[in-house]
Structure 1
């Protein structure tokens, strides 16, 4: 799932909150243009599957927040692993495994 989608869900977890926020506010999320924001809001207005109660919104927001946090942790771990693999003192067997690379 795209980072911008998770950030959108975290900030505006229900269709009602998304519509209330408006396109300009939604477009403040990185990689979201005003055009994309308007499209997402229009889709939220016509969504029949969207849950609008506050409890569902809170749960969705928390799940999105956790996914964003986990993604950052995974990226940090990947960088650390890459630093170890490219280290000249690293066991050569690590660099010999197919698929090991940045």
Structure 2
């Protein structure tokens, strides 16, 4: 219950989120779009934390132990495999008219 209360009170800073979105896309968001993006980011972070907590338990630690960066990286890797949202660049198959 304490975790849920902390989740309800937490929020993502809108100025930082707006700056990050603009640096990635070059487009500024209106206030409604910023609220939507903030909620999606909060859901993503919550899911990442839940999976990290499951990984901590699978490795034999208690629920009171802290989540380490390795747990977060492993949960991000698992989510990436599951959703197939790779952040790798796609290589062009054609360059200067030749097939590579």
Give the shorter-chain TM-score range: 0.3 to 0.5
Q: More helix per residue: 1 or 2?
A: 1
Higher relative contact order (CA 8 A, sep 6+): 1
TM-score (norm 1): 0.37
TM-score (norm 2): 0.38
Looking at CA atoms only, which structure, 1 or 2, has the larger radius of gyration?
A: 1
